Amino acid sequence: MIIESIELQNYRNYESLKLSLGEKNNIFYGDNAQGKTNLLEAIFFAASSKSFRFCKDRDVIRFSEEEAHIKMILQKKSHKNRIDIHLKKNSVKGIAINGFPVKKASDLFGLANVVIFSPEDLSLIKDGPKERRRFVDLELCQLNKFYLHNLARYNRVLMQRNRLLKDIAFKPQLEDSLSVWDEELVKYGQAIIRLRREFIESLQDKLIRIHKNISGGREELLLSYEENVREEAFSEAIIKARDTEKKQRITLVGPHRDDLLFQINGEDIRKFGSQGQKRTAALSLKLAEIELVKEKIEDYPILLLDDVFSELDKKRQNFLLDEISDVQSIITCTGLEDLIENRFPIDKLYYVEGGKIECP
C-alpha cells in the first residue's frame, strides 16, 4: 500500500499543494511551524476522516477561508483508489471514494491504513490512561469497522447517561429511565472490551520479540489489558455502582476507564521505569503495531513519522530505520543530520517553508 499523490487546498497553512510521493522514504525537512505536521495530519485525515490532533473539522480550514479540500490517490496491491474530502466551516464534511459520495465516514476506514508515530507517542507510557486508550482506539478503528461502530455508540450513550446522572440530582424521578441507558452501555461496552482484549493479545508476541531485540535480550516487555470491568461482569457492576454514581454524577464503570499495563521483568514501568525504558517500550509498541496491521491486511501500512528522530538516541534511531525499510514512510524532521549519519536511503526529499513544499 502506498500513497501516490496528495493535493490540498486551503488546508491549515497550505493554500494550494500538489505532491507526488516516492514508494519508500519521503523526507520533509524544515524549521518548526512551517507545515510539516499539517501534511501528515492531512494524510491521516484522508485515511480516517479525522485529525490525529483530535480537533474539530473546521479548525483545519485555512484562516479566513470557508472550505478546504483533500485529495489522495492510493495504490493498494493491483488497484488504485481516489479519496476526496470536502470540509466546510458551517456544514458537515463530504467524503467521496473514486468519485462516488459515501454517506458514512466509517466507509472510509480500511481503505488506507496508516500508523502515526510522533514525540507524543514516546510519552505514551508515562502519560495517563486516556492516551493509552487513544492508542488502542486509533488502530482498532482502522482495522475493525465493528469496533468503530460500537465505540461511537458507546461514547454517545456514555454522554447521555452522564447527563442523566447530573439531572437526577435535581429530578429524582428520572432515575427510572437510567436502566435503559445501562442496557445500551453494557451492550456496546462488552463488544469494546472483547475487541480490545483480542487486540492486545495479538500485539503481545510481536512486542516481546521487538523489545528483546532493541534491549539486546536483557529485558522482557509484557503488555496487559487492565479492563475496568470484565465483560461478563459489566451488568452486575453497573448496578452495584449506581448509588455512588448518583452521588458523583458520573459513570464510573466501563471501558472508558480502561488502561494498559507495561511491565519489564515484572515491574510496572509506568511508575518505576526509567525514561529510556519508557521510550523503548513506546517504540516497540509502534513497531509491533506495524507488524500487526501487515498481518491483518496482508500489506504494509503507511508510516507517518513526525519528528521522532530528535527524540531518540542513535541506537534506537538505527533500530527504527532498519525496521521500516519495507514500508512507505513519510518522515518529517528539522534537519537531515541523523538520516545522513545513519546512511538512510532517501527516495524523495522535500523542503517545507511557510506552507510551500519544494524539491531541493
Domain at 222, CATH number:
1.20.1050.90
Indicate if the pLDDT at residue 76 is higher than 90. Answer: no
- pLDDT tens column, 99-119: 999 888 778 877 888 999 888
Place 254 in a pLDDT band, splitting at 50, 70 and 90.
Answer: very high
Please state whether the predicted TM-score (pTM) of the whole model is above 0.85.
Answer: yes
pLDDT (average), residues 124-129: 89
Q: With contact defined as beta carbons under 8 Å apart, do 143 and 77 qualify? A: no
Other beta carbons less than 10 A from residue 312's beta carbon: 19
Indicate if the pLDDT at residue 80 is higher than 80. Answer: yes
- Say what the pLDDT of residue 124 is: 87
Shared-domain flag, residues 160 and 268: yes
3-class SS letters over 254-283: CHHHCEEEEEECCEEHHHHCCHHHHHHHHH
- Give me the residues paired with residue 72 across strands: 6, 83
Question: Which residue numbers belong to the known binding site?
Answer: 30-37
Identify which has the larger pLDDT, 141 or 252.
252
Shared-domain flag, residues 240 and 318: no
Q: Where does a domain end: 298, 331, 347?
A: 298
- pLDDT tens column, 161-213: 999 999 998 999 999 899 999 999 999 999 999 999 999 999 998 999 999 98
Domain at 319, CATH number:
3.40.50.300
Shared-domain flag, residues 145 and 177: yes
Q: Percent of the chain beyond pLDDT 90? A: 63
Shared-domain flag, residues 318 and 288: no
Place 317 in a pLDDT band, splitting at 50, 70 and 90.
Answer: confident
Residues 6+ apart with CB under 8 A from 284: 207, 210, 211, 214, 221
- Say what the pLDDT of residue 108 is: 82
Domain assignment of residue 120, yes or no: no
Shared-domain flag, residues 315 and 288: no
Question: Which residue numbers belong to the known binding site for ATP?
Answer: 30-37
Shared-domain flag, residues 94 and 141: no
Q: Where does a domain end: 280, 298, 316?
A: 298
Task: Write down the mean pLDDT value for the chain.
Answer: 91
Shared-domain flag, residues 272 and 218: yes
Shared-domain flag, residues 286 and 319: no
Assigned C-alpha cell, 130: 486516556
Q: Which domain holds residue 137?
A: 125-298
Sort strands 79-88 and 67-76 into parallel, antiparallel or unpaired.
Answer: antiparallel
Place 16 in a pLDDT band, splitting at 50, 70 and 90.
Answer: very high
Place 145 in a pLDDT band, splitting at 50, 70 and 90.
Answer: confident
Indicate if the pLDDT at residue 342 is higher than 80. Answer: no
Domain assignment of residue 354, yes or no: yes
